[in-house]
Structure 1
Amino acid sequence: MPVTPPLKPPVPQISVLSLSVPVAMGYVPLGMVFGFLFVQAGAPWWLAVFASVLVFAGAAQFMMVPMLAAGLPWASLALATLVVNLRHVFYGLSLLDKLPAKRWARWYLVFALTDETYSVLTTLPPGTSTRQMVTVALLNQGWWVLGTLLGAVIGAQAQISLVGLDFALAALFAVLAVEQWRSADSAAPLWVAVLSYALAWALLPQQALLTAIGLSVLAGLFWRTSAARELRP
């Protein structure tokens, strides 16, 4: 009798726009701040947009503004950008199994892997198509480029203050943390992060963030080792 091949699991239907809208709430105002500051530092508006298209590095782009204004060499700028974005190496390693096999899509997702895009991609269900993953990354970069364009045009035409929009980044990370919590099987990682930062703030307030990251990594390693021991026969 002929053997019936196993049915493939249905591809999940995902509204990529709904996934990207929370990112837009942070990227558009923050991109505006970057574009505004970049132009106020004396650069042409189109160069700000060019940087957001080809660099797309978030915090590193903000770091770029005073360094360019001070006339520092490009080598110093490149080294500083490498140090700031070094965490993305670990992001990429944890996503190797999820990244698509198509080379062009894989390379673009590696390039566009910001903190927020990483957070969204890690919540996607198994079987998500390459088109959906790339569309999420493209939309997220598009919001940043749009914000940069708006801020650069405003900065070139008027002298106004954008004070207060920097809170958009904190609000964005709060939304992404809630989404990660809702999609996770356990709330333990969130509580580990909160308790690590509380302990770090009490012990080393000047280096609280770095200390909290180290404590969280140690907790993750201990958790994985304990889980592996429990699974052994």
Structure 2
Amino acid sequence: MNTNTLINKYNSKKHTLKKAFMAAFPHTIPIFAGFWFLGLTYGIYMNVSGFSFWYPMCMSVTIFAGSIEFITVNMLLGAFNPVQALAMTLMINARHLFYGISMLDKYKGTGWKKGYLIFGMCDESFSINYTADIPEDVDRGWFMLFVTLLNQFYWFFGSTLGGIFGSIIHFNTEGLDFVMTAMFVVIFLEQWLKDKKHTSALLGLGLSLICLCAFGSDNFIIPAMLAILGVLTLLRKPLEKEADSL
């Protein structure tokens, strides 16, 4: 293989990557604002909880699951309980099982990129990669990889910056530890407003309150999640019929 052939291959590859990046980047701009702000809050929250900026920085690279990363703060401060951590992660991120099934065809033929696409698939990356109208002259695998990579970088950048600023800038952080609760409340309200029927939401609230009374505030989360999963599984067909009738 002569030098000219190598140069042509390099230029062709560079052109492919540039075109895929330029096509993917505009789709991720709205994600930047949300991820940067929430990541910044998470980094400050970690610092307030007694962790250096290395923790949010490394966790945003290795975990990259916003809600789980917030919950991990309390897990790190509490007693070592790997079973609880595993159960909590599976329950909270169970929706990714359905995301993965939906993306099976789209991830075909992506080669080595498939591993990272699976690891980095968050709600926002899934939404973009599943619905985006990718131009025919843009490499599909590289487009989806850049979407996923950019979204993770936004979260990484925000959480690292928050961890650094949290240790440099001293201000009143009273109430900041409520950010995780506020985040889940917002997610719940968005789901409530989106659904016309609120059967699932009301079941979740009711079962959580029952488990709270039965097991106490320190131990109710896992029983509540198991109860919600079990009841919704049993009522799956009636709920699907209810949704189809709307």
Tell me the TM-score normalised to structure 1 length. 0.67
Change (3 A) 1:69 1:98: same
1:14/1:71 Cα in 2 relative to 1: closer, same or farther (>3 Å)?
same
CA-based RMSD of the aligned residues comes to 4.1
Contact 1:32/1:149, CA 8 A, preserved across alignment: yes
- Once residues 91 and 107 of structure 2 are traced to their aligned partners in structure 1, the CA distance between those partners, rounded to angstroms, is 24
Cα pair distance change 1:145/1:122, threshold 3 Å: same
Q: Distance in 1 between matches of 2:129 and 2:84?
A: 32
Equivalent residue, structure 2, for 1:23 = 31
Counterpart of 1:99 in 2: which secondary structure?
coil
Shift in CA distance, 223/122, structure 1 to aligned 2, threshold 3 Å: farther
Distance 1:94 1:27 in 2: 24
- 1:196 equivalent in structure 2: 197
Alignment of 1:58-77 (within 5 A): 58-77=66-85
Secondary structure, counterpart of 2:195 in structure 1:
helix
- Judge conservation of contact 2:57–2:160 (CA < 8 Å) in 1: yes
The structure 1 residue matched to 2:46, chosen from 38, 46, 60, is 38
Task: Identify, as 1 or 2, the structure richer in helix.
Answer: 2
Q: Whole-Å Cα distance in 2 between the matches of residues 150 and 221 of structure 1? A: 44
Per-residue CA deviation, residues 204-233 of structure 1 (Å, 9 max, x unaligned), is 75469x79xx69x7589559999xxxxxxx
List aligned pairs for 1:130-169, cutoff 5 A.
130-160=141-171, 161=173
Q: Equivalent of 1:110, from 118, 121, 135? A: 118
Structure 2: 5+ residue stretches without partners: 1-18, 209-227
1:125 maps onto 2:133 in alignment:
yes
Relative to structure 1, the CA distance from residue 134 to residue 201 in structure 2 (aligned partners, 3 Å threshold; closer, same or farther) is closer
Q: Equivalents in 2 of 1:84, 1:61: separation in Å?
A: 11
User: Conserved in 1, the CA contact under 8 Å of 2:39 and 2:159?
Assistant: yes
User: Given the two structures, how large is their TM-score scaled by the length of structure 2?
Assistant: 0.64
- Measured in 2, the distance between the counterparts of 1:201 and 1:75 equals 26
Report the 3-state secondary structure (helix = DSSP H, G, I; strand = E; otherwise coil) of the residue aligned with 2:112.
helix
**Code of the aligned partner of 1:93:** I
Cα distance in structure 1, aligned partners of 2:111 and 2:97: 18
Number of corresponding residues: 198
Q: Structure 1 residues 101, 221: CA separation in 2 closer, same or farther (over 3 Å shift)?
A: farther
The code of the aligned residue for 1:195 comes to K
Between the aligned partners of 1:25 and 1:158, the Cα distance in structure 2 is 22
Identity percentage over the alignment?
A: 25
How far 1:46 moved relative to its partner? 1.0
Aligned 8 A contact 2:42 2:159 in 1: yes
- Unmatched segments (≥5 aa) in structure 1: 1-10, 178-190, 227-233
Q: What are the Cα deviations for residues 17-59 of structure 1, in whole angstroms up to 9, with x where unaligned?
A: 2210111111111111111111222222112100000110111
